[in-house]
Amino acid sequence: MKAVFIVYNQAQTEKVEYLFEKLKIRGFTRWTDLTGRGSVDGPPHMNTHTWPEQNTARMAVMEDETVKAVLEGIKKLDEENTDVGIRAFVWDIVDYY
């Protein structure tokens, strides 16, 4: 089991939802109206007058084999327009209830 943490420009919400639906991932946790900045480039999403955009984050715990499909989808999504911004990070799940 792995946890996938996806942070993305909130303007991508519907596309991420579509991805989850396509891959039949049911469970997730979502945080909305987040701020942050990428480590390399791209505009910060700070919810300020200067950088008005905002992020949404989504954490989903899934079987190991699904993770690859998710990351592939995210990569495709990002390549549509790298300025908009989406990233995914994967954790190992050690134990769960």
Partner 1 sequence: MSIYGNAVKRPITTIMIFVALLVMGGYSLNKLPIDFYPDIDFPAISVITTYAGASAADIETNVTRTIEDGLNSVGNLKNITSTSRDNMSIVVCEFEWGTNLDEASNEMRDGISFIETFLPEEVEKPMLFKFSSSAMPVLFYGVTADESFEAIANILDEKVVNPLNRIDGVGSVGLMGAPGREIQVDIDPRKMESYNISVEMIAGVLNAENLNLPAGNLEMGMMDYPLRVKGEFPSSDVLDDIVLASFNGQTVYLSDVATVRDTIRDTSLDERLNGKTGMRIVIQKQSGANTVQVCQDINAMMPELIKSLPDDIEITTFWDSSLFISESINNLSNTLMYAAIAVVLVVLFFLGRWRATFIVILTIPISLIVSFIYLYISGSSINIIALSSLSIAIGMVVDDAIVVLENITKHVERGARPREAAIYATNEVWLAVIVTTLTVVAVFLPLTLIGGMTGELFRPLGYIVTITVVTSTISAITLTPMLASKMMKLRKKPEKVRAISYDNIIGRFLNSLDGFYSRTLKLALRFRWGTLIIAFVIFLLSMMMAGGMGFQFMPEADQGSMTAAIELQTGLRVDETTKVARKIDAFIEENMPEAKFYYTSSGSDDQGGFMSLFMETGSHRININFTLTDLETRNRNVWDLSNMLTEYLETIPEIVTFDVVPNGGMGGTTENNVVLEIYGYDFETTSLIANALADSVSTIEGATNVNVSRDPSKPQLQIVPDREKMAQHGLNTYTLANSVRNRVEGPYMSRYREEGEEYDIVVRFVEEERSSLSNLNDIALMNMQNQVIRLGEVADIEEHWSPPNIERKNRERMVTVSITPYKVPLSVMAEQVQAKINQMDIPSDVNLQMGGAVEDMQESMKDLMLLLLLSLILTYLVMASQFESLKMPFIIMFSIPFAFTGVVLAHVVTGTTMNVISMVGGVMLVGIVVKNAIVLVDYINLTRARGVELKEAIVESGKSRLRPVLMTSLTTILAMLPLALSTGSGSEIWSPMGIAVIGGLIFSTIVTLVLVPVVYHMMLRKSDARKVKTEYDFMNGTGEGNPENN
13 scored as a contact of partner 1 (CB under 8 A): yes
CB-nearer residue toward partner 1: 12 or 88 = 12
Segment lying near partner 1 (by CB under 8 A), choices 9-17, 57-65, 67-75, 87-95 = 9-17
CB-nearer residue toward partner 1: 53 or 69 = 53
34 scored as a contact of partner 1 (CB under 8 A): no
What does the alpha-carbon distance between residue 68 and residue 71 come to, in Å, rounded to a whole number? 5
Minimum CB separation of residue 27 from partner 1 in Å reads 23
CB-nearer residue toward partner 1: 36 or 68 = 36
